[in-house]
């Protein structure tokens, strides 16, 4: 059911930003969700529609916000064998396999993490991200494996979302990349925006987009007569933009092994070890794994850290390469 809510600004809230004011009044919506409502011109001040989240309000202003309920199809709970690393009344930490989509969308109505969560938790999941994304605080790509934290209620969701917004969540990824990144350790800071050539892809932009920061460290370099030069790199995210690690490493000229969108289109090696070639051909995704996750527990207020084992396909490739470590 669509709903219009009206607020009368008091003296104590005069000169606040519009989005900040509404965030304090509407606990069911995140700041980013409120921003989208404002940008879609569904907020008015004194009967005049506004479209700037940064607009300042003043005492006596009458603010109306129109919230349109999403029309969604029923999401089917499915019995899926989820790898649960940790669970309590507030959160669940899942080690997601590669190939699993996080939430339903176009072309992916079944077999997603959300389908499995609905079977496991019934209705005990947050709804701040809408009916298609119950419990989902953040995402990782379909073909990326690794750790995700899921919120069981809106309190925990809002708390975790704030930690993500403040960039205080500790996320470490392991990646296998082509070649050797220079310098061996460093920080990549760019703007990321939708690619003008393909709107499904992201690209580094000189002028527009969201700031993205990736810290990286080279752990090992592998090379041999019949082995292309490959490096094992640890990436620590300061921000969490769409495809961030994949785009940043590709931008440096060191795309992820197996990345069909941002990596090498053709391997083009004249002579390659047959066993390794078979491993490469059977590796049907980008070599990226969300290895560890650390944050302040939303209810206990303690720092919690979680770690995950490498999935079998990633481990198999790495075990072979270890014989060629420099």
**C-alpha–C-alpha distance, residues 304 and 314, integer Å:** 26
Q: Give me the torsion for CA of 199, 201, 205, 210, rounded to 10°.
A: 90
Q: Is the pLDDT of residue 267 over 70?
A: no
- For residues 22 and 19, what is the distance between their CA atoms, to the nearest angstrom? 5
Reported as half-sphere exposure (CB side, CA atoms, 13 A), residue 20 has a value of: 9
Which ranges of the chain does DSSP label H, i.e. alpha helix?
18-25, 31-39, 113-121, 154-165, 244-251, 274-282, 312-321
Burial (CB < 10 A; 0-12, 13-18, 19+), residue 121, is middle
Instruction: Confirm if 157 and 126 have CB atoms less than 8 A apart.
Output: yes
Q: What's the residue count for the chain?
A: 326
Over pLDDT 90: what percentage of the chain? 75
Q: Is 141 a catalytic residue?
A: yes
Say if residue 146 is exposed, middle or buried (CB neighbours under 10 Å; 0-12, 13-18, 19+). Answer: buried
State how far the Cα of 226 lies from the Cα of 272, in Å rounded to an integer: 4
Buried b (16+ CB within 10 A) or exposed e, 250-267: bbbebbbbbbebbbbeee
Q: What is the DSSP letter of 139?
A: -
DSSP state of 11: G
Q: Is the pLDDT of residue 107 over 80?
A: no
Work out the mean pLDDT of the chain and round it to a whole number. 91
The single residue of 19, 61, 141, 313 carrying the catalytic annotation is 141
pLDDT confidence of residue 308: 97
Give the tens place of pLDDT for each residue, 243-264.
999 999 999 999 999 999 998 7
Query: What 3-state class would DSSP assign to 58?
Result: coil
Alpha-carbon gap, residue 58 to 18, rounded angstroms: 10
What does pTM read for this prediction? 0.79
Question: Do residues 193 and 211 touch, judged by C-beta distance below 8 A?
Answer: no
The mean per-residue pLDDT over the stretch 127-151 comes to 92
Residue 1: the pLDDT is 46
């Amino acid at each position: 059911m669509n709903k219009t809510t009206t607020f009368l600004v008091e003296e104590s809230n005069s000169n606040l930003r519009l989005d900040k004011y509404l965030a304090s009044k509407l606990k069911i919506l995140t700041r980013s969700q409120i921003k989208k409502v404002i940008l879609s011109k569904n907020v008015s001040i004194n009967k005049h529609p506004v479209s700037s989240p940064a607009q300042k309000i003043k005492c006596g202003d009458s603010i109306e916000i129109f919230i349109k309920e999403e029309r969604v199809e029923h999401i089917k709970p499915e019995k899926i064998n989820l790898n649960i690393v940790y669970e309590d009344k507030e959160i669940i930490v899942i080690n997601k396999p590669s190939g699993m989509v996080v939430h339903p969308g176009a072309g992916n109505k079944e077999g997603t993490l959300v389908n499995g969560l609905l079977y496991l938790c019934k209705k005990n999941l947050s709804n701040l991200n809408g009916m298609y994304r119950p419990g989902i605080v953040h995402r990782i790509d379909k073909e990326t494996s690794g750790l995700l934290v899921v919120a069981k209620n809106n309190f925990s969701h809002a708390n975790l979302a704030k930690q993500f917004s403040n960039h205080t969540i500790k996320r470490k990824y392991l990646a296998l990349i082509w070649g050797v990144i220079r310098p061996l350790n460093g920080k990549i800071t760019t703007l990321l925006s939708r690619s003008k050539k393909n709107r499904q892809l992201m690209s580094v932009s000189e002028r527009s987009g969201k700031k993205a920061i990736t810290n990286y460290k080279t752990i090992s370099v592998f090379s041999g007569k019949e082995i292309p030069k490959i490096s094992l790199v640890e990436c620590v995210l300061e921000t969490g933009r769409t495809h961030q690690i994949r785009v940043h490493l590709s931008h440096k000229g060191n795309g992820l092994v197996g990345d069909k969108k941002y990596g090498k289109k053709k391997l083009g090696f004249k002579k390659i070890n047959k066993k390794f070639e078979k491993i490469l051909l059977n590796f049907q995704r980008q070599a990226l794994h969300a290895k560890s996750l650390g944050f302040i527990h939303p209810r206990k207020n303690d720092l919690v850290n979680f770690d995950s084992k490498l999935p079998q396909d990633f481990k198999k490739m790495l075990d072979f390469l270890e014989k060629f470590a420099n």
